[in-house]
Chain A
Amino acid sequence: AQSVTQLDSQVPVFEEAPVELRCNYSSSVSVYLFWYVQYPNQGLQLLLKYLSGSTLVKGINGFEAEFNKSQTSFHLRKPSVHISDTAEYFCAVSGGSNYKLTFGKGTLLTVNP
């Protein structure tokens, strides 16, 4: 079984500041890792995913994440955030069966002017 821990439930930042949203996972098998974004009252949009290969993954909207196997982490970063990045961000993992996603509880990113 897999589990995902998002260490911060809320992250407030100012516009144009850098941000890091933390995600740790546990799994007994090799994993795929994902970050999704959810804008208010909308569905989930895939930001980026790690399946294999390079541990630095680039996604949409200027986001990137680094897979660290030894620390079982997959932190999401953006060097300069915009007001429009305000949303809930979910880290997810799949392994074993590979069709089922296990999600963290989410991190609410609030970008202030």
Chain B
Amino acid sequence: NAGVMQNPRHLVRRRGQEARLRCSPMKGHSHVYWYRQLPEEGLKFMVYLQKENIIDESGMPKERFSAEFPKEGPSILRIQQVVRGDSAAYFCASSPSRDSYGYTFGSGTRLTVV
């Protein structure tokens, strides 16, 4: 039973390009959460999704960021027109139900904007 799979592990983008981060939840998990870890900071909640629905996006920046979790395929976090301040580690977690105590985290995608 594979864990939460995130790809790519490392992503380098030039300012103004788009970044697409993918997260495949654990088998049987239909709840996905995205967190961002800025340098020297803890993780900050971004968004919570269930299949085809965004439940809570209160932590998402209002512009340039979007997330989806389609019926088929992985969850995608999309950052348009990246800026240097978007450089961070982005972690995805999944759970079998709507709660925090069943989380399993992926290994993260480290985005560097040059």
Contacts and interface: CB of A to CB of B under 8 A. Distances in A.
Interface in A77-106: 90, 92, 94, 97-106
Most chain A CB within a 10 A radius of its CB, from B31, B98, B100: B100
Interface stretch (B37-45, B65-73, B76-84): B37-45
Given A103-B42, A105-B41, A42 B107 contact: yes
Contacts of A46: 103
A44 to B, nearest CB: 4
A11 interface: no
Interface of A: 4, 32, 34, 36, 41-46, 49, 51, 90, 92, 94, 97-106
Contacts of A100: 33, 45, 48, 56, 100
A67 B95 CA distance: 24
A29 to B, nearest CB: 13
Given A32-B101, A43-B106, 12 more contacts: A36-B105, A51-B101, A94-B101, A98-B99, A98-B100, A99-B33, A99-B100, A100-B56, A101-B35, A101-B43, A101-B45, A103-B43
Interface residues of B, number: 25
Interface of B: 4, 6, 31, 33, 35, 40-45, 48, 56, 91, 95, 98-101, 103, 105-108, 110
A102 B45 contact: yes
Given A43-B105, A44-B105, A99-B48, A104 B42 contact: yes
B43 A90 contact: yes
A99 B98 contact: yes
Nearest to B95: A99
A100 B95 CA distance: 12
Contacts of B43: 44, 90, 92, 101, 103
B101 A49 contact: yes
Nearest to B9: A41
A65 to B, nearest CB: 15
Contact of A43 (B40, B45, B91): B91
Contacts of A44: 43, 91, 105
Given A90-B42, A106-B42, A101 B107 contact: no
